[in-house]
Amino acid sequence: MKNYELLVIFKPSLDSEELDKVVDKISSEIKSAKGEVVSVDKMGRKKLAYDLQGYRDGFFTNMIVSLPGEKIVDFKRNLKLSENVLRFMFMEVAKKGANV
């Protein structure tokens, strides 16, 4: 399994309890796909550079996760279908010492 970085921007209309529930749901989806959540960093509410779906700000969360390669497509599809997610960025974490 490879490590991936997942940056998610959630709708600002969520309160802290709802945000925790949504992050927990994403974590449980990763675990059900035989993956692992390495770390979760809730970066808070930030202003966006431009409007996304009519919102000017959003809650940013950065997660480091391990997922099997065959489960990535389904996981990304589930994120796109989530009504609380404005945007997400999913990328492979480069190994330390690797020349890029």
Q: What CATH number did the domain enclosing 46 receive?
A: 3.30.70.60
Is 32 in contact with 85 (CB distance < 8 Å)? Answer: no
* 80 occurs within a structural domain: yes
* 77 occurs within a structural domain: yes
* 45 occurs within a structural domain: yes
- Torsion of the alpha carbons at 55, 22, 94 and 68, rounded to the nearest 10: -130
* 98 occurs within a structural domain: no
Number of domains into which the chain is organized: 1
Which structural domain, as residue segments, surrounds residue 28? 2-92
* 100 occurs within a structural domain: no
pLDDT tens digit sequence for 33-63: 999 999 999 999 999 999 989 999 999 999 9
Count CA atoms closer than 13 A to 26's CA, side-chain side: 31
Q: Which residues face 67 on adjacent strands?
A: 2
* 97 occurs within a structural domain: no
Selected residue with higher pLDDT from 98 and 54: 54
Residue 97 has pLDDT above 80, yes or no: no
Query: Rounded distance, CA 81 to CA 76, Å?
Result: 9
